[in-house]
């Protein structure tokens, strides 16, 4: 973990952080993954979404949230005017995951993996410097709040690195439980409200 801390802290910008992850050889997940999945979207965006880990398609393409859950995620944020490829800078969205490599067979991350890679995630947030963070699902909450329990935490503002952070139900869950979309919609409106209150 201390190698990760040194490597992450030394990164002065997002390109350097990506390079530091490419060069990091202490995490076994990397050996089973095809690609590093660093981030997608607009690094300058006001909103940074943090998911769990790449799945099969994300691992293939080297981009987060590109399969079914990703399509729903894009539709959800489009509904509040945010996207990875925005018409205007303030409509941007920046997307990453708690883990940058796919766990074998999409198994859950381990506590050790999350802890080992956390310095990179923290540095990623510092360098992207978003106004609002979205913790997409239990694993993002585990990584950054140290606890899970998304059904209780969703919809309640938390704090991550001094920034407002909204835990939300993961879109993969919403695909299986469409009834939960109503709560997710309320959370999206909360995020929109927060951005309005901050101006721009
Ligand atoms: N689920 C996630 O949490 N992240 C991805 O990138 C894809 C699916």
Strands 158-160 and 163-168: antiparallel
| Intervals of the chain under pLDDT 70 | 1, 199-200
CA 10 to centroid of ligand 1, rounded, Å: 27
DSSP H stretches of helix in the chain: 2-10, 14-22, 29-32, 56-61, 68-78, 111-128, 138-145, 150-153, 171-176, 181-197
69 Cβ below 6 A of ligand 1: yes
Strand partners, 168: 136
SS3 content of the chain, % helix, strand, coil (to 5): 50, 15, 35
CB atoms within 10 A of CB 178: 8
- Indicate which CATH number applies to the domain containing 184: 3.40.470.10
Q: Is the distance from the beta carbon of residue 168 to the nearest atom of ligand 1 less than 6 Å?
A: no
Structural domain of 50: 2-197
CA 106 / ligand 1 centre spacing (Å): 10
Each residue of 39-74: pLDDT tens digit?
999 999 999 999 999 999 999 999 999 999 999 999
Q: Is 109 in the pocket of ligand 1 (CB under 6 A)?
A: no
Sheet with 158-160, strands from edge to edge, namely 40-41, 93-97, 47-51, 132-136, 163-168, 158-160
Q: How many domains does the chain have?
A: 1
65 lines ligand 1 (CB under 6 A): yes
Cβ of 169 closer than 6 Å to ligand 1, yes or no, is no
Q: What pLDDT does 119 receive?
A: 98
Q: How far is the CA of 33 from the centre of ligand 1 (A)?
A: 14
pLDDT of residue 1: 55
Q: β-strand 93-97 against 40-41: which pairing, if any?
A: antiparallel
| Residue 54 CA to ligand 1 centre (angstroms) | 5
Residues of 104-133 as b/e, b for ≥16 C-beta within 10 angstroms? eeeeebeeebbebbbbbbbbbbebbebebb
How far does residue 94's CA lie from ligand 1's centre (Å)?
13
- List the residue whose alpha carbon is closest to atom 8 of ligand 1: 65
141 C-alpha to ligand 1 centroid (Å): 14
Interface predicted TM-score of the whole assembly (ipTM), two decimals:
0.94
| Residue 148 confidence (pLDDT) | 93
Structure tokens at 200: 């721009």
Cα 3 to ligand 1 centre (Å)? 26
Q: Is 39 in the pocket of ligand 1 (CB under 6 A)?
A: no
Q: Is 103 in the pocket of ligand 1 (CB under 6 A)?
A: no
Query: What pLDDT digit, counting tens, does each position of 102-121 carry?
Result: 999 999 999 999 999 999 99
């Amino acid at each position: 973990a201390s190698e990760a801390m040194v490597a992450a802290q030394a990164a002065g910008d997002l390109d350097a952080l990506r390079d530091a992850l490419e060069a990091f050889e202490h995490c076994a997940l990397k050996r089973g993954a095809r690609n590093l999945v660093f981030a997608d979207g607009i690094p300058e965006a006001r909103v940074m979404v943090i998911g769990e880990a790449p799945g099969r398609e994300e691992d293939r393409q080297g981009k987060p949230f590109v399969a079914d859950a990703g399509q729903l995620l894009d539709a959800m944020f489009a509904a509040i005017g945010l996207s990875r490829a925005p018409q205007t800078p303030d409509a941007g969205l920046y997307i990453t995951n708690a883990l940058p490599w796919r766990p074998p067979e999409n198994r859950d991350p381990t506590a050790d993996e999350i802890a080992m890679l956390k310095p990179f995630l923290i540095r990623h947030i510092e360098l992207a410097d978003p106004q609002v963070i979205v913790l997409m699902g239990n694993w993002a909450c585990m990584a950054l709040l140290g606890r899970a329990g998304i059904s209780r935490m969703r919809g309640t503002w938390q704090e991550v690195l001094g920034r407002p952070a909204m835990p939300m139900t993961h879109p993969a869950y919403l695909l299986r439980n469409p009834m939960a979309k109503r709560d997710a919609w309320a959370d999206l409106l909360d995020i929109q409200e927060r951005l309005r209150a901050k101006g721009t």
